[in-house]
C-alpha cells in the first residue's frame, strides 16, 4: 500500500509538513520537492526538506508513484498542467486543498487519464513558508478524502493509507458535501476573523492604538487566524464561494437574532445560545480536536 517515491509540489507549511512526515513515518520512501519560488527551493535544500529538490517540476515528478499538490487551490490547474507531460504510468495525484469540488474539476480537466484522488488534511497553523512545516502536523487530525465517481477503490485505499501513515484520521466524503461542511467549520470562521481584525485596524486611529494595546484573549485569537496565508485564503473563498455565501447568509441571520435579543434585553435567549455553544466546545475537546487545559494549553513560562 505504500509509495516508493513521493513528489511534493509546493513547499510551504503543508508541503513541508508532508515531506517531513514522510521522512518520519515512511523512511523507505524517496521524496522530491519543488516550489515555483527559487528562494523557497534554495531554503528547502538548506534545511533538507526533501531528499531531492530539483530546479524543474519535471525532475521532481519523474518516476514518482504519488504526487501531492500543495499549492493554493487557485493554482491547482496550472500545477496539474505543468506536471502532466512528466508523470509516470500508474501514478496517483492527490492534493491538500481546502475546497474540493472546484479542485477535482480543475485537475480532472488538466490531467486526463491520470488517477486523481483529492484529499484535504484538516490541519494547519497561521505560519507559512518552508520553515513552518513539521512532521507532527497531521497527527490525530482529520484528513478527508473525496474520491471522484468511478475512482479505483484500490487507489483510494492507497491514498487513505498514505495519510493514515502520516498520523491522520481518515474519512471519505462527497466533494460538494465536504465544501459545505468546511464552509462553516473553517472558511466562515476565517472570514469572520479577517473582518473583525480589519474593523479593529480601521478603529486604530479613533482609539489611539488602544484596540491593540488592550487586546483581550478573544481578539488575540482572532488575530492568529487572520494571520493565515492571504494567497491561500483568497483562493479558498473564491473557489468555494457558493457554500461560503450560503453559510455567511445563515450566520448573518443568526447574528441579527442576537442583535435583537441584546436590544430587547432578552437575557434568556442569550443564555440559551451561549449554553448551546459551550456544549459544542466541550464536544470538540472530547473528540481530541483541541486542548482542554486553560488558555488552549498555551505555556505561560
What is the pLDDT at residue 144? Answer: 96
What is the pLDDT at residue 300? Answer: 42
Segment (H or E) for 238: helix 230-239
C-beta neighbour count of 174 within 10 angstroms: 14
- Rounded mean pLDDT of 127-138? 90
Mean pLDDT of the chain: 89
Of 17-31, 182-196, 253-267, give the lowest mean pLDDT range: 182-196
Written as nine digits, the cell of 144 is 478527508
pLDDT tens for 79-126 read 999 999 999 999 999 999 999 999 999 999 999 999 999 999 998 777
Domains in the chain and their CATH numbers?
A: 5-173 (3.40.50.720), 177-290 (1.10.3660.10)
Statement: residue 290 has pLDDT above 70? no
At CB < 8 A and 24+ separation, what contacts does 121-124 make? 121/14, 121/96, 121/163, 121/168, 122/182, 122/186, 123/17, 123/168, 124/13, 124/14, 124/228
Q: Chain centroid to CA 97: how far?
A: 6
- Strand pairing partners for 144? 120, 171
Amino acid at each position: 500500500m505504500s509509495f516508493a517515491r513521493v513528489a511534493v509540489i509546493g513547499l510551504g507549511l503543508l508541503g513541508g509538513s508532508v515531506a517531513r512526515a514522510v521522512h518520519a513515518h515512511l523512511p523507505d520512501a524517496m521524496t522530491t520537492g519543488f516550489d515555483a519560488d527559487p528562494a523557497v527551493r534554495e531554503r528547502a535544500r538548506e534545511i533538507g526538506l526533501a531528499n531531492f529538490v530539483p530546479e524543474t517540476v519535471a525532475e521532481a515528478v519523474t518516476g514518482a508513484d504519488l504526487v501531492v499538490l500543495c499549492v493554493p487551490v487557485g493554482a491547482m490547474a496550472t500545477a496539474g498542467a505543468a506536471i502532466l507531460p512528466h508523470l509516470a504510468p500508474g501514478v496517483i495525484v492527490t492534493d491538500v486543498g481546502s475546497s474540493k469540488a472546484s479542485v477535482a474539476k480543475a485537475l480532472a480537466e488538466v490531467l486526463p487519464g491520470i488517477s486523481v484522488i483529492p484529499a484535504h488534511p484538516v490541519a494547519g497553523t497561521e505560519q507559512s513558508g518552508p520553515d513552518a512545516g513539521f512532521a507532527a502536523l497531521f497527527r490525530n487530525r482529520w484528513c478527508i478524502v473525496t474520491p471522484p465517481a468511478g475512482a479505483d477503490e484500490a487507489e483510494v485505499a492507497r491514498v487513505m493509507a498514505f495519510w493514515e501513515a502520516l498520523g491522520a484520521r481518515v474519512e471519505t466524503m462527497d466533494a460538494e458535501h465536504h465544501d459545505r461542511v468546511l464552509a462553516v467549520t473553517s472558511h466562515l470562521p476565517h472570514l469572520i476573523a479577517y473582518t473583525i481584525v480589519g474593523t479593529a485596524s480601521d478603529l486604530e486611529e479613533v482609539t489611539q492604538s488602544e484596540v491593540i494595546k488592550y487586546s483581550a484573549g478573544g481578539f488575540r485569537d482572532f488575530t492568529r487566524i487572520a494571520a493565515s496565508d492571504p494567497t491561500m485564503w483568497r483562493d479558498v473563498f473564491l473557489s468555494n464561494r457558493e457554500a461560503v455565501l450560503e453559510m455567511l447568509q445563515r450566520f448573518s441571520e443568526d447574528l441579527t437574532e442576537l442583535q435583537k435579543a441584546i436590544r430587547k434585553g432578552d437575557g434568556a435567549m442569550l443564555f440559551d445560545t451561549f449554553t448551546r455553544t459551550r456544549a459544542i466546545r466541550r464536544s470538540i475537546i472530547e473528540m481530541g480536536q483541541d486542548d482542554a487545559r486553560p488558555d488552549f494549553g498555551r505555556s505561560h513560562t
